[in-house]
Amino acid sequence: MIKKALSIILSVIMLLLCFGCNTGERVFSKTFFAMDTMMKITLYDVDEVMANQLFSICYDEILREENLFSVNIAASDISRINASKGDNVTLSQETVLIIKKAVSLSKLTDGAFDITVYPVVKLWGFYGNEYSIPESDDIIKALGFTGSKNIEFLGNSVRMPKNSGIDLGAIAKGYLGDRLKSIIKENGVESAVISLGGNITLIGDKPNGEPWSVAIKSPFSQNEFIYEFLISGDLSVVTSGAYERYFEKNGKIYHHIIDPDTGYPAESDLASVTVIGEDGAICDALSTALFVMGKEEALTFLSQREEISYVLVSNGGEITKSENLS
Ligand code: FAD
Ligand code: MG
């Protein structure tokens, strides 16, 4: 219980500082708990009735996606794949699309982001918070069932071999941010902040027209921030870090971001990775992948993709950021 509470607190890794907004400007916020994460939506310059209607629509969307994508809900699309033992599983079109997007991001990152890491994450006990250090033979066995090549698409169904499976934990919250952004914008709101644990999605600018100020939480100290920057427009800011979810055994920390090559928690020289961009799902997948890659490989990857904004915090506290951030 204490571990769970700690993980919830740690998952709130970024704070939006809304200078210049005051409650007289018709600001409404609502907090939700779903996907084992605290979520908060703040709408600016709306009336109360509209705000409450939108909160209700957004919460329905959050639950709808949790019911499709969770590995912990037996009837979800993803759990049905994971229990399928080699059979064809018919899925919603939306699930097929997010799996396809994840597979292409896996290729882009040379497998550093890999949703088929499911059997390995399960071995480490990260799904039920029943952590244990697996035997190395079991890790090698589980790695034999990973890899995107194991996902076979047949129209709106997917087939995976027995013991293989899918985990959308490193992309689904980013995707959810995109969905909530569309819903809120379609309803005419021009200024909003969607906070889903370590993921932030922004709509427009602050109501006074100024850019948002985003602060990244320090990976080294719970109540401090390590870097702050200004951004405007419909952007997502997604952070991955080893300190988000972990357990400790014999003085060693075992965190939840797995290196798909080794099956062990990634031995990264990065303490946290923040990716900023228009597509929250891509930002989410890339923040996990860049963490796995480590600083040198991450910077090589990023040097070929100038459209991606980023903040890398190394284990020593050094900050490396894209030039466009101020
Ligand atoms: P990210 O870095 O974005 O993702 C890390 C997560 O992705 C890991 O926890 C693992 O699941 C997976 N992963 C690890 N390595 C890799 C890799 N190399 N490539 C791809 N994926 C990898 N948690 C619970 O305890 N109980 C729940 O009921 C629960 N329900 C959830 C339902 C949904 C739909 C989702 C999306 C998540 C749920 N979670 C639940 C998970 C929880 O919120 C995770 O902590 C979160 O998804 C991890 O996101 P992150 O941003 O911290 O880290
Ligand atoms: Mg991620």
CATH number of the domain located at residue range(s) 27-69+171-321 in this protein:
3.10.520.10
Which residue has the CA at smallest separation from atom 5 of ligand 1? 170
pLDDT tens digits for 20-63?
344 456 999 999 999 999 999 999 999 999 999 999 999 999 99
Residue among 3, 9, 37 whose CB has most ligand 1 atoms within 8 A, to mutate: 37
**How many A from CA of 287 to the centre of ligand 2?**
5
CATH number of the domain located at residue range(s) 77-159 in this protein:
1.10.3980.10
pLDDT tens digits for 192-212?
999 998 799 999 999 999 999
- What confidence score (pLDDT) does residue 24 get? 53
Residue among 6, 72, 178 whose CB has most ligand 1 atoms within 8 A, to mutate: 72
Domain boundaries, the chain: 27-69+171-321, 77-159
pLDDT means per 10 residues in the chain (326 residues)?
36 39 72 96 96 98 98 98 97 98 98 98 92 96 98 97 98 98 97 94 96 95 93 96 89 95 98 97 98 98 95 97 91
**How many A from CA of 126 to the centre of ligand 1?**
9
Ligand 1 nearest atom to the CA of residue 284, by list position: 3
Ligand 1 nearest atom to the CA of residue 168, by list position: 36
- What confidence score (pLDDT) does residue 142 get? 98
Task: Quote the tokens at residue 88.
Answer: 């064809």
CA atoms of 305 and 282, how far apart (whole Å): 13
Amino acid at 55: F
- What confidence score (pLDDT) does residue 201 get? 98
